[in-house]
Chains A and B, each alone.
Chain A
């Protein structure tokens, strides 16, 4: 692994069994992502983008191959070990926001801080919400917010722990193009400011184009 690589994968293969026999979703994928780099993972539907993201983030395990995140081998850890590593180093933004409906915007952003027993959870969360332009919406529940606002809450939640690596799965996929554009800009602005490494799965060319690098996947293989 090169000195500045924060994320490295070697020989990642993911196979699942199906009625038609073994299905290979990822086929011997190896890659390195440098600290602070932004990388877009692109490819057609069903090409294995989301599976790659899940394995890189430690949400899923490969059938074969290894992943290192910040020098720690994710693939050698058990579920709880990976969870603790995520708590320290990783943030997420999802296509469908994944906000907890019963919590206010502020409480949603406080959640990772509370998991880390951060004493100033509320103050930090409030500050982060202000950074994404939602200072006036802290007491609102997700269903009282627009799609764009919900995604901004999700982004605030992802950045509030100042993660080393931010994984984003189609972050603008559920938004209209104007809102998607604004959310994309926000994501990259915050990324630049926090010097976070960004791994982005997207269909949006514009969004992919903002990244330092693009990894193209087809039928489970890196083609470019």
Chain B
């Protein structure tokens, strides 16, 4: 109780006297930055998850070729999950004399659980979000179907035994299939109408879906529960399984956001450590005095620890509140600009805030303050006694361990942590080395210029160690600023370039070989370019090295899934642009030898197949056998048609096949597609524009979010920079007072201060450029898997911004100290 009471009084007095201000400010900055980023990324992450859910139109989808037990739906609803059902099947739709194959989606009233349907009132009309689903007796048709049948909204079609009135054009559905399989134009109908059609019978080719949505915890619980009961033909797919472009984009966005949290943590921790050191050194005399007055060492340390506990509580509360406010502002701005409403934040960032405050206090303040607790009471008589020193191993060890643990808790990615730590420690080491050299070399330049120059350089040289520490701190801050300003932009640009502006937006399948030449001519005449085309052969893997797949053991579930479906094969002599041969060798252009196979490297791993193995495929009843001669690494998010299995040209050209083609059609020319549909009735045209813009919008939203998050980190960096400058304030007040007393004009002293900060900033800038270059390269190459070339801007910008930012901020922040009346300052000493 005595300790608690004393600590409370000491804390109150320290607060009132401003003794804790800098330490508190630094920790609050750390907590604010962390929780603002935490709250914001939590909400953005939530929004991203919603986007991923849209790919499934739910959080979890159970799929089967046969009817799915309604017990699952009841279980899900009992848990509190939302549910929906759909049923998909191909069938012929009739309109007068015309018939066409259509992909029917029969949906329950609650579909979709995630995302929205986009509909229009006329063919190629303006899209708008749909309310609900088609009513009984109604149908919403995709543009391709209307084109094929020469119909528009208002017409009727016959499906089996029922007539349906087309009431909307269906432009977009969340679970649009981005693959190229069975994409007959779609017709959406009400699930309740299905029995009336009389087309769904035992043995019909029908896919049943049950969809579920709810909180992560419930979904996880339900998934675990259901997985145990699944029949072999039932598969379950969650957001995390949707391994497509959107997932890749989200993954990268998360890494960017994580990077933002990381740099903020590191910056703030540097400031907190400096602030703690300052607080500790200022308290040496007070602690010696307390001991003289009879306080024991254990009492002093207990009071210190208790006071720090108050610090944690106060900074957590203030920081989390500020962080929430800051992220709220960000979210409002973000929502206004990017047009999506963020879901509410979870409570997790609050815990993160407390954890941050505790980590910073334990890792950065506690060691300094506890060591000060060992100050001998003799210091009251002998001012020259050196302050107790912590061993470097303890200081840096505890700090690094604490920050490392915190960072690892956040990023959960040791590689990213390693890269960041490597960049920071590397820069710090280089900075200490170069800083030391600069301090040594400065004496040569001191005589060369005027008084201000000499005073400024002398300041750096005389403070030796402190100058080096400041160079390191500024260097680290600037490195982060450069990372945000230049490297982030470079990486973002490279990232955005992975979605080319003229990515193919029209995909065509079911092209008969004899239609290909006509189709190419059509596009040449209409848009001036020929579509990129590849043959498409449907085949099922039947044997590996002569072992029938029933007896063959695959490596994992993905491998097993491949065996259960018909695969899309193609043949070509040209290695696709987005493919790289990772094993074996490509057969090469003009190859006409025996049949060979090239597999996606990941598929080969999943199947447990390597170069040299023989695979047998059944294509329309015919067995083809060929050795695997190469494995390819495929860039799936290249927006080019890609195939797991590629065959060498030659004999396969005689197998039953169709073609698929992709082409870019400018948006103002899409009206030609209806002519295409009429001229080539069998060809299915898939307008990827809607899907692509969906993907691009996810990427845009992600990069917008990243920029906002980084904007906050930038702000944190500047605040931390100011905190670092604040640390030498006392010293500078005293020096300025002495110089004033000796007759120096204020302007002269300010010039000296400017020289000092500009010099420090320039060197820090160079160091920052080195660090940012290395770190940027490491992050781009290893964490984001992007190619990164060093921007020519980085170095001049580093030097210049270092000199300017540190020069101006330093001089301005020191101005008050310089301007204080010397008498008042000297009396304080």
Q: Mark B263-299, 1 if CB is under 8 A from A, else 0.
A: 0000000000000000000000110011111111111
Is A115 a contact partner of B286 (Cβ separation < 8 A)? Answer: no
Is B381 a contact partner of A53 (Cβ separation < 8 A)? Answer: yes
Is B293 a contact partner of A54 (Cβ separation < 8 A)? Answer: no
Is B377 a contact partner of A98 (Cβ separation < 8 A)? Answer: no
Q: A60-B378, A101-B17, A107-B13 are in contact. Are A112 and B294 (CB under 8 A)?
A: yes
Report the Cα distance A134→B515, complex, angstroms: 107
- Residues facing A in B231-279 (CB within 8 A) are none
Report the Cα distance A111→B286, complex, angstroms: 11
Is A83 a contact partner of B295 (Cβ separation < 8 A)? Answer: yes
- Chain A residue numbers with a CB within 8 Å of B376 are 59-60, 79
Closest to B292 in A: A92
Report the Cα distance A63→B590, complex, angstroms: 96
Q: Mark A75-117, 1 if CB is under 8 A from B, else 0.
A: 0000110011111101010100010111100010001101111
- Chain B residue numbers with a CB within 8 Å of A84 are 294, 296
- Chain A residue numbers with a CB within 8 Å of B411 are none
- Chain A residue numbers with a CB within 8 Å of B6 are 114-115
Q: Mark B373-385, 1 if CB is under 8 A from A, else 0.
A: 0001110111000
Return the contact of B289 from the options A79, A100, A107, A116 (Cβ within 8 A): A100
Return the contact of B378 from the options A54, A80, A87, A115 (Cβ within 8 A): A54
- Chain B residue numbers with a CB within 8 Å of A102 are 13-14, 16-19
Is A115 a contact partner of B293 (Cβ separation < 8 A)? Answer: yes
- Chain A residue numbers with a CB within 8 Å of B290 are 111, 115
Report the Cα distance A98→B383, complex, angstroms: 11
- Residues facing B in A134-191 (CB within 8 A) are 143, 157, 169
- Residues facing A in B103-138 (CB within 8 A) are none
- Chain A residue numbers with a CB within 8 Å of B514 are none
Is B296 a contact partner of A98 (Cβ separation < 8 A)? Answer: no
- Residues facing A in B288-341 (CB within 8 A) are 289-299
Report the Cα distance A79→B290, complex, angstroms: 13
Report the Cα distance A111→B295, complex, angstroms: 10
Report the Cα distance A143→B296, complex, angstroms: 28
- Chain B residue numbers with a CB within 8 Å of A47 are none
Report the Cα distance A115→B291, complex, angstroms: 10
- Chain B residue numbers with a CB within 8 Å of A79 are 291, 296-297, 376
Is A169 a contact partner of B294 (Cβ separation < 8 A)? Answer: no
Answer whether residue A214 sits at the interface, using C-beta atoms and an 8 A cutoff.
no
Answer whether residue A50 sits at the interface, using C-beta atoms and an 8 A cutoff.
yes
- Chain B residue numbers with a CB within 8 Å of A169 are 381
Report the Cα distance A127→B185, complex, angstroms: 96
Closest to B827 in A: A143
Which range holds the interface residue count of chain A?
20 to 34
Q: How far is the CB of A173 from chain B (nearest CB, A)?
A: 12
- Chain B residue numbers with a CB within 8 Å of A114 are 5-6, 9
Majority-rule SS of A interface residues:
helix
Closest to A60 in B: B378
Majority-rule SS of B interface residues:
helix
The number of A-B residue pairs with CB atoms under 8 Å apart is: 82
Is B293 a contact partner of A86 (Cβ separation < 8 A)? Answer: yes
Is A86 a contact partner of B289 (Cβ separation < 8 A)? Answer: no
Answer whether residue B671 sits at the interface, using C-beta atoms and an 8 A cutoff.
no
- Chain A residue numbers with a CB within 8 Å of B828 are 143
- Chain B residue numbers with a CB within 8 Å of A115 are 6, 290, 293-295, 299
Q: How far is the CB of B271 from chain A (nearest CB, A)?
A: 22
- Chain A residue numbers with a CB within 8 Å of B293 are 86-87, 92, 111-112, 115, 157
- Chain B residue numbers with a CB within 8 Å of A50 are 381-382
Is B380 a contact partner of A59 (Cβ separation < 8 A)? Answer: yes
Interface centre among B5, B19, B285, B294 (most CB of A within 10 A): B294
Q: How far is the CB of A102 from chain B (nearest CB, A)?
A: 3
Answer whether residue B228 sits at the interface, using C-beta atoms and an 8 A cutoff.
no
- Chain A residue numbers with a CB within 8 Å of B295 are 83, 87, 115
Answer whether residue B550 sits at the interface, using C-beta atoms and an 8 A cutoff.
no
Is A83 a contact partner of B297 (Cβ separation < 8 A)? Answer: yes
Return the contact of B292 from the options A59, A88, A116 (Cβ within 8 A): A59
Is B294 a contact partner of A94 (Cβ separation < 8 A)? Answer: no
Q: A92-B292, A115-B293, A115-B295 are in contact. Are A83 and B13 (CB under 8 A)?
A: no
Return the contact of A54 from the options B13, B18, B381 (Cβ within 8 A): B381
Answer whether residue B444 sits at the interface, using C-beta atoms and an 8 A cutoff.
no
Closest to A113 in B: B293
Is A94 a contact partner of B296 (Cβ separation < 8 A)? Answer: no
Is A59 a contact partner of B296 (Cβ separation < 8 A)? Answer: no
Report the Cα distance A116→B299, complex, angstroms: 12
Interface centre among B377, B827, B828 (most CB of A within 10 A): B377
Q: Mark B15-30, 1 if CB is under 8 A from A, else 0.
A: 0111100000000000
- Residues facing B in A24-83 (CB within 8 A) are 50, 53-54, 57, 59-60, 79-80, 83
Answer whether residue B201 sits at the interface, using C-beta atoms and an 8 A cutoff.
no
Is B13 a contact partner of A103 (Cβ separation < 8 A)? Answer: yes
Closest to A108 in B: B289
Answer whether residue B669 sits at the interface, using C-beta atoms and an 8 A cutoff.
no
Q: A98-B285, A143-B828 are in contact. Are A86 and B13 (CB under 8 A)?
A: no
Interface centre among B5, B14, B290, B378 (most CB of A within 10 A): B378
Q: How far is the CB of B146 from chain A (nearest CB, A)?
A: 80
- Chain A residue numbers with a CB within 8 Å of B827 are 143
Is A117 a contact partner of B2 (Cβ separation < 8 A)? Answer: yes
Q: How far is the CB of A82 from chain B (nearest CB, A)?
A: 8
Report the Cα distance A86→B380, complex, angstroms: 14
Is A100 a contact partner of B296 (Cβ separation < 8 A)? Answer: no
Report the Cα distance A166→B822, complex, angstroms: 36
Is B297 a contact partner of A59 (Cβ separation < 8 A)? Answer: no
Is B9 a contact partner of A116 (Cβ separation < 8 A)? Answer: no
Q: Mark B562-598, 1 if CB is under 8 A from A, else 0.
A: 0000000000000000000000000000000000000
Is A87 a contact partner of B294 (Cβ separation < 8 A)? Answer: yes
Report the Cα distance A107→B10, complex, angstroms: 10
Report the Cα distance A102→B16, complex, angstroms: 8
Q: How far is the CB of A118 from chain B (nearest CB, A)?
A: 11
Report the Cα distance A136→B519, complex, angstroms: 102
Is B289 a contact partner of A98 (Cβ separation < 8 A)? Answer: yes
Report the Cα distance A69→B16, complex, angstroms: 39
Q: How far is the CB of A114 from chain B (nearest CB, A)?
A: 6
- Chain B residue numbers with a CB within 8 Å of A53 are 381
Q: A50-B381, A59-B380, A80-B297 are in contact. Are A86 and B17 (CB under 8 A)?
A: no
Q: How far is the CB of A23 from chain B (nearest CB, A)?
A: 15
Q: Mark B199-214, 1 if CB is under 8 A from A, else 0.
A: 0000000000000000
Closest to B286 in A: A100
- Chain A residue numbers with a CB within 8 Å of B19 are 102
Is B380 a contact partner of A94 (Cβ separation < 8 A)? Answer: yes
Q: How far is the CB of B17 from chain A (nearest CB, A)?
A: 3
Is B380 a contact partner of A92 (Cβ separation < 8 A)? Answer: yes
- Chain B residue numbers with a CB within 8 Å of A60 are 376, 378
Q: How far is the CB of B826 from chain A (nearest CB, A)?
A: 12
Report the Cα distance A94→B299, complex, angstroms: 23
Is A94 a contact partner of B2 (Cβ separation < 8 A)? Answer: no
Closest to B19 in A: A102
Report the Cα distance A57→B293, complex, angstroms: 11
- Residues facing A in B699-751 (CB within 8 A) are none
Report the Cα distance A83→B828, complex, angstroms: 29
Q: A50-B381, A54-B378, A59-B380 are in contact. Are A86 and B292 (CB under 8 A)?
A: yes
Report the Cα distance A103→B18, complex, angstroms: 11
- Chain A residue numbers with a CB within 8 Å of B285 are 98
Closest to A110 in B: B9
Q: A59-B378, A100-B289 are in contact. List 14 more A-B contacts (CB 8 A).
A: A54-B378, A54-B381, A54-B382, A83-B291, A86-B293, A87-B295, A88-B294, A98-B285, A98-B292, A102-B18, A103-B13, A107-B13, A143-B827, A169-B381
The 14 listed contacts between A and B (C-beta, < 8 Å) are: A54-B381, A54-B382, A59-B381, A83-B299, A83-B377, A86-B293, A87-B294, A94-B381, A100-B286, A100-B289, A102-B19, A111-B290, A114-B9, A115-B293
* Pairs of residues from A and B, 8 with the lowest C-beta to C-beta distance, nearest first: A87-B294, A102-B17, A80-B296, A86-B294, A83-B296, A59-B378, A112-B293, A59-B377
